[in-house]
Amino acid sequence: MLPLISFIIGLIFGWVRAARRGGGTADRLQYAIGHGVAFGIAGLVFGVILLRAGLLGPA
């Protein structure tokens, strides 16, 4: 669940960042996907760390 939430937050962050820079729809989509993937991977790594540390139970 954590990677999915991180991915969605990354999508929104990337879309807003491209919009502030004056990018078109293609730029916004590219930024959104790029940030979404990066945030999703970071969320996955963070989730694994929490799981290995015993702070998060298996789903």
- Give the residue ranges of DSSP H helices in 1-59: 2-20, 25-53
* Residue 2, CB-side half-sphere exposure with 13 Å CA sphere: 15
Question: What DSSP character marks residue 54?
Answer: T
Tokens 């820079």 belong to which residue?
Answer: 21
Q: What is the pTM of this model?
A: 0.85
Q: Which two tokens stand for residue 33?
A: 């996907």
pLDDT tens by residue, 22-38: 999 999 999 999 999 99
- Whether the pLDDT of residue 44 is over 90: the answer is yes
Domain boundaries in the chain? 2-49
Angle at 21 between CA 4 and CA 5, to 5 degrees: 10
